[in-house]
Amino acid sequence: MNLMSSKKKLGVAYHFEEEIGLVLQEYHDNYSQKNGLYKDDLYYVSLRFRLLRQHSFFASSGLYEATYLRVHEEDILEEALELSKTKLKELVPYLAPSLAKHVVHALSRPMGKALPRMYAREFMSFYQEDEFHDQVLLKFAKLDFNILQRQHHQELSIISSYVNYFFLRLLVIPLVFCVKLAFFWLVEVYYEHPPP
């Protein structure tokens, strides 16, 4: 489950959608059996909850990042959000510097409310500092991020050339900026994976 979570946070999970879907389907189908094994492990419970909810499976409640995936009338998750925020803020001074930095970041910009590509870029630095990180996965995530950045840069360059050609002739300079800003939001909000 940690590997699936890391792939999701690093922005490369789309390369493994089928495999992740099969594993999560198994977790979902065998939920009651696995729940007994890890019911006292809060990290595992919240990780399982978040991954299952992100992939549209039903799962009972978990904690902090998972609370942002709550649905209407899940009051227990609203309470869990407030409690976990308070407890995390209290713990920050006692955590190792790299973990404290990660917690402060999660409190200010939770994964569920972040733009996927921006979150992936920020998470890479946290993941790199994790002593148990997967070096191959990290390199793959960086390469994937750079390839997508280059693709977006090329697309924006093409759009800009058309925009500059038409709008600069009309002396409508502010529209040039608006088109570039719209492109950024389109790429982030309607994130489409590159063709294989």
pLDDT at 143: 94
Q: How far apart are CA 183 and CA 65, in angstroms?
A: 28
pLDDT at 141: 94
pLDDT at 37: 59
> In the predicted model, is pLDDT for residue 23 greater than 70?
yes
Query: pLDDT (tens digit, 9 = 90+) per residue, 56-83?
Result: 777 655 666 667 767 777 777 778 778 8
Q: How far apart are CA 21 and CA 175, in angstroms?
A: 42
Q: Higher pLDDT residue, 120 or 1?
A: 120
For the ranges 38-47, 87-96, 168-177, the one whose mean pLDDT is highest: 87-96
pLDDT at 95: 84
40 φ, ψ (degrees, to nearest 5): -95, -5
Whole-prediction pTM value?
A: 0.70
- Whether the CB-CB separation of 133 and 123 falls below 8 Å is answered with no
pLDDT at 144: 92
pLDDT at 135: 94
> In the predicted model, is pLDDT for residue 157 greater than 90?
no
Res. 32 pLDDT band, cuts 50 70 90? low
- Whether the CB-CB separation of 124 and 145 falls below 8 Å is answered with yes
Any idea which residue has 């299952």 for tokens? 52
Q: Higher pLDDT residue, 47 or 120?
A: 120
DSSP state string for 110-159: -GGGS-HHHHHHHHHHHHHH-TT--HHHHHHHHHHHHHHHHHHHHHHHHH
Query: pLDDT (tens digit, 9 = 90+) per residue, 136-145?
Result: 999 999 999 9
Percentage of the chain lying above the pLDDT 70 cut: 79
> In the predicted model, is pLDDT for residue 35 greater than 60?
no
Q: How far apart are CA 103 and CA 97, in angstroms?
A: 10
